[in-house]
Structure 1
Amino acid sequence: MQPVRLGLVGIGKIAVDQHLPAIAANAGFRLAATASRHGQVEGVDAYAHIADMIAVARLDAISLCTPPAGRHALALTAIEAGLHVMLEKPPAVTLSQVEALVGAARTAGVTLFATWHSREAAGVAPARAWLLDKRVEAVRIHWREDIRRWHPGQEWILGPGGFGVFDPGINALSIASEILPHQLVVESATMDVPQGRASPIAATLTMRCGLAEVRGEFDFLQTGPQDWSIEVDTDAGTLRLGMGGALLQLPGEAERPADDQEYPRLYERFANLIARREIDVDMRPLQLVADAFLIAERRVTDPFIF
């Protein structure tokens, strides 16, 4: 079988750090072209715009690594050209945009894959399996990182549609919605928005999983040790996920070792979906963020400068 001829759109930090190595390691894909205003890949045909790439390059699929704002139009361009599409997280800036893409992909008969890379972390699947027959009593989510370290100069992330602290925070919500046995429901929220910015730099969420309270704390101004952890209190003890889901500790057991195979697993999944022409789009993490934006108490804080 011939490899899928892939076009990569948006050659930024996430593409360089994660997508390119995963594509190179998967024999089912061949990187045939890129489209980006700011980056190129040596030895690969490069275009400034996705429409130019699609018009000239012979492609089967597109992987979109651009910021979420504008991604709907890019994905729709690819779908209408008959190409399979893989979306970085979050898949778009609104729920209606994602729903429209799902409808377009069904009409075109192509694969649409909205990825949640943190769900592919080593500890997530075994955590979900362990929790299946447990009673959840409380959940604590801590997602605290340094915006200047992980998103240097990315002004868009605090702008309209940039998600702010929920750009990383949605990773936590993608894990929680995957491993917990009941649908998460947002009850209240606060958002700290720097003066002159549109998206929060810190936030808290109070949610429910059945009768259990789920408390989420998200902070983009964390200095020192970074913290991406989830603790789940159950009738059988406390489950702990650390390092964004890579590390898992079950009650009475030693911490399980991590691996770094999130993006290789995503591309393996994309290949399988393409082979079956299936759609895989779970909007639950985006729904939780949208609910938070709807009901949050917004507090204006000091201006933020990168």
Structure 2
Amino acid sequence: MAIRIAVVGLGKIAHDQHLPAIAASRDFELVAAASLEGTTPGVPVFRTIDELLASGIAIDAVAMCQPPQARYEAALKAIRAGKHVLLEKPPGATLAECEGLVRLAEDTGTTLFAAWHSRYAPGVAQAKAWLAERKIVSAEIVWKEDVRRWHPGQQWIWQPGGLGVFDPGINALSIATAIIPQHIVLLDGELEMPANRAAPIAARLQLVDMDGAPISAVFDWRQTGPQSWDIFVDTADGRLELTQGGSKLRIAGEERALAPEAEYGDMYAHFADLVRAGESDTDRSPLRLVADAFLRSRQHQTDAFID
């Protein structure tokens, strides 16, 4: 039987990715939604998670697609109601929130899935397998995009808990923590903070794996024209280049054949497997690195950001 799912938060990411992935899936049936704004045809839309859960509609799972600052309370209520929960990235506004949800899901026997969609990019699995057998010499992450193009008019991303440039940057960190075999630690960083915003518009991080291999990361939200979503890893056996957000892979100069992009479709397939197996997947390592960046980086004020 299909897993009956509701979506909370009918914003851009829900309409661009979650709703199409659910509609194309044989594992899920969309039965309801909750959102302060927005609609989706064919299902009832409630204003709050409380109204959704009290509606009497049979729901097995809930996908949390609202801004991270509002995710914790809604997820708590869904898990306490016995629903399986998918958390759009980042899984929470703080690590403490995530830890609380993990413990509650364990206590109630519900599935909790921290859904790092970029880990399902076509080249990630091959990159992970190749690097698993090699010693890394160094790595470089370059993740630069135009915030006006990808987050037009969105204010929550500039507020505390919205992460600023780490909203896309955490995608890069989710890939890096998946493909680099060793645990990654932040050594130092710099954050550029617009004079009129509470979150960074750019960041430069110096990280290292447990074997001492240096990893540099540059995130910037001011790049116009072509966008840069690239990870380069040097090994004794050559360079791995995972580019275009993980959709292109070159190893030691050789282009690798990859399947078509299906990040959210594959992500939902994994969620269905977790629900049916009674398991959870709650890796918090990408969010931990972002939290460490706010803890350990120097902050510099830069020009005010104007939408």
Tell me which interval the TM-score lies in, with the shorter structure as reference length: over 0.9
Which residue is equivalent to 2:277? 276
Aligned twin of 2:66: 66
Q: Report the alpha carbon displacement of residue 14 of structure 1 after superposing the two structures with TM.
A: 0.8
CA contact (8 A) 2:120 2:262 kept: yes
The runs of at least 4 aligned residues of structure 1 exceeding 6 Å deviation read none
Deviation at 1:259, TM superposition (A): 1.9
Give the TM-score normalised by the residue count of structure 2: 0.98
Alpha-carbon distance between aligned partners in 1 of 2:46 and 2:106, rounded to the nearest angstrom = 28
Alpha-carbon contact 2:229-2:243 (below 8 Å) kept: yes
**Within 2, Cα distance between the matches of 1:246 and 1:252?**
16
Q: Deviations over 1:62-81 (max 9, x none)?
A: 00111110211010010011
Could you give the per-residue CA deviations for residues 20-73 of structure 1, whole angstroms, max 9, x where no partner exists? 111011111110001011111011111111110111122111001111102110
1:256-267 alignment to 2 at 5 Å? Answer: 256-257=257-258, 259-267=260-268
Partner residue in 1 for 2:31: 32
Preserved CA contact (<8 Å) 1:64 1:75: yes
**3-state SS of the aligned residue for 2:69?**
coil
Displacement of 1:276 in angstroms is: 1.4
Report deviation, 1:255. Answer: 4.7
**For residues 166-207 of structure 1, what are the alpha-carbon distances to aligned partners after superposition, in whole Å with 9 as ceiling and x for unaligned?**
000000000001101211000000000101211100001100
SS at match of 1:16: helix
Q: Which whole-Å CA distance do the structure 2 matches of 1:76 and 1:171 have between them?
A: 24
Task: Give the unaligned 5+ runs of structure 2.
Answer: none
Q: Which moved more, 1:165-174 or 1:49-58?
A: 49-58
**Within-5 A mapping of 1:1-306:** 2-56=1-55, 57-209=57-209, 210-257=211-258, 259-306=260-307
Structure 2: how far apart are the matches of 1:232 and 1:260? 22
SS in 2 for 1:23: helix
Measure, in 2, the Cα distance between the counterparts of 1:108 and 1:133: 38
Is contact 1:124-1:179 (8 Å) kept?
yes
CA distance in 2, matches of 1:40, 1:252: 47
Instruction: After superposition, give the CA deviation of every residue in 1:137-187 in whole Å (9 maximum; x if it has no partner).
Output: 110100000000000001110111110000000000000011012110000
CA contact (8 A) 1:65 1:87 kept: yes
Distance in 2 (alpha carbons) for counterparts of 1:300 and 1:69: 24
Instruction: Report if aligned partners of 2:239, 2:253 keep a CA contact under 8 Å in 1.
Output: no
Partner of 2:53: helix, strand, or coil?
helix
Secondary structure of the residue aligned to 1:181 is coil
| SS of alignment partner, residue 264 of structure 1 | helix
The whole-number CA distance in structure 2 between the counterparts of 1:276 and 1:81 is 19
| Cα offset, 1:254, TM superposition | 2.2
| SS at structure 1 position matched to 2:200 | coil
CA distance in 2, matches of 1:252, 1:46: 50
TM-score normalised by structure 1 residue count = 0.98
Q: In the alignment, residue 133 of structure 1 is paired with which amino acid?
A: E
What is the CA–CA distance in structure 2 between the aligned matches of 1:75 and 1:247, rounded to whole Å? 34
Structure 2 counterpart of 1:59, one-letter code: I
* Distance (whole Å) between structure 2 residues aligned to residue 271 and residue 212 of structure 1: 36
Would the aligned equivalents of 1:249 and 1:256 in 2 still touch at CA under 8 Å? no
The answer to whether the 8 Å contact 1:4/1:28 transfers is yes
Partner-residue secondary structure (3-state), 1:222: coil
CA shift digits 1:272-300 (9 cap, x unpaired)? 11111111100100110011100110001
1:225 match: secondary structure: coil
Q: Distance in 2 between matches of 1:270 and 1:258?
A: 20
Give the AA of the match of 1:252: G
SS where residue 208 of structure 1 aligns? strand
Q: What SS does the corresponding residue of 1:70 show, helix, strand or coil?
A: helix
The residue type paired with residue 5 of structure 1 is R
Percent identity of the aligned residues?
50
* Letter of the structure 2 residue corresponding to residue 222 of structure 1: Q
Partners of 2:36 and 2:261 in 1: how far apart?
Answer: 29
Paired with 2:253 and 2:206, the residues of 1 have a C-alpha distance of 29
Q: Which runs of 5+ in 1 are unaligned?
A: none
Alpha-carbon distance in structure 2 between the residues aligned to 1:255 and 1:226: 21
SS in 1 for 2:255: coil
Aligned equivalents of 1:60, 1:51: Cα separation in 2: 15
